[in-house]
Amino acid sequence: MNKHQQPTIGHLIRDWRQLRRLSQLDLALEAEISQKHLSFIESGRSAPSRDMVLLLAEHLGVPLRERNALLLAAGYAPVYLARSLEDPGLQAARSAIDQLLKGHEPYPAIAVDRHWTLLAANAAVAPLLALAGDADLLRPPVNVLRLSLHPRGLAPAILNLAEWRGHLIARLRQQIRATADPMLAELLTELLNYPAPAAPITKGRAQEDAEPPIVVPLKLQLGETVLSLISATTVFGTPVDVTLSELALETFFPADEATAQVLRAAATKS
């Protein structure tokens, strides 16, 4: 295929199948079609129907935005809307997001899109953003991963930077494998070019015998206080809108009572 030509639906289906590490037989069995028919689709000998494109996309776990691209490549109109969160049609979803963010106070919570762009945040996030050393990183659109790991961002305030960086990089790699998004791949390259902190060295029997943490915490130096936070991710169930399918709420909880007390006290002062 000429590099200037648009990929055909057959090539796209094959690429997604290979990304998911499925053989033609595996996918055919899951989609309950013949391997021969799938082979004809991938080779271009057979043009899939609209329903067939959606069926294969479903079994391949293709994100909604990319399902629209598959439909276009097959000659069909997209079926999944991609609207701004400010669109009146998403008013109920936006209201739910605002309620979840507000309801999580006094603990921090943010909403991000699939490229980790900050879409919304509750009041508890502002003191954490203020730790950034470069105001340019806080100018919209704010990329949360860039802000977290940039040497002039939050990185100097993260006490367990090597551990937290590893956690974020692993999540980003997993997201790239799932979506094949080139913008995320570019972001990963950028983050990997930031100065990498040395991995912590543990010494002594006490550390070896200590019970390992259940999750990777985010440890932030906030003035004279150390905040220890654990995160959880919330997504919309069964979305049929591209924007909602790509949106995630990152909520942070205190990992210890000292952190909880600091956050509660900060909320009462504001």
**C-alpha–C-alpha distance, residues 218 and 211, integer Å:** 18
**C-alpha–C-alpha distance, residues 101 and 96, integer Å:** 9
Q: Residue range 113-117: average pLDDT?
A: 96
List the Cα angle 5/8/12 in 5-degree steps. Answer: 115
User: In CATH, what class is 88-196+213-269?
Assistant: alpha beta
**C-alpha–C-alpha distance, residues 48 and 57, integer Å:** 12
Higher per-residue pLDDT: 238 or 152: 152
Given this model, what pLDDT does residue 207 score? 47
DSSP code per residue over the chain: --TTSPPPHHHHHHHHHHHTT--HHHHHHHHTS-HHHHHHHHHTSSPPPHHHHHHHHHHHT--HHHHHHHHHHTT----SB---TTSGGGHHHHHHHHHHHHHTTTS-EEEE-TT-BEEEE-GGGHHHHTT-S-GGGGSSSPBHHHHHHSTTTTGGGBTTHHHHHHHHHHHHHHHHHHH--HHHHHHHHHHHTSPPPPPP---SHHHHHSPPPSS--EEEEETTEEEEEEEEEEE-SS--BHHHHT-EEEEEEESSHHHHHHHHHHHHH-
Q: Is residue 267 a contact partner of residue 109, using CB atoms and an 8 Å limit?
A: no
| CATH 3.40.50.300, applies to 9-73 | no
Using pLDDT thresholds of 50, 70 and 90, give the confidence band for residue 23: very high
- Cα–chain-centroid distance for residue 228? 22
Q: Is residue 194 a contact partner of residue 150, using CB atoms and an 8 Å limit?
A: yes
Q: Is residue 84 a contact partner of residue 235, using CB atoms and an 8 Å limit?
A: no
**C-alpha–C-alpha distance, residues 150 and 156, integer Å:** 9
Given this model, what pLDDT does residue 202 score? 53
Give domain limits for the chain: 9-73, 88-196+213-269
Given this model, what pLDDT does residue 252 score? 97
Q: Residue range 22-48: average pLDDT?
A: 97
Task: Supply the pTM of this predicted model.
Answer: 0.87
Summarised one tens digit per residue, pLDDT across range 47-85 is 999 999 999 999 999 999 999 999 999 999 999 999 998
**C-alpha–C-alpha distance, residues 231 and 251, integer Å:** 6
Summarised one tens digit per residue, pLDDT across range 166-223 is 999 999 999 999 999 999 999 999 999 999 887 665 555 444 444 555 678 999 999 8
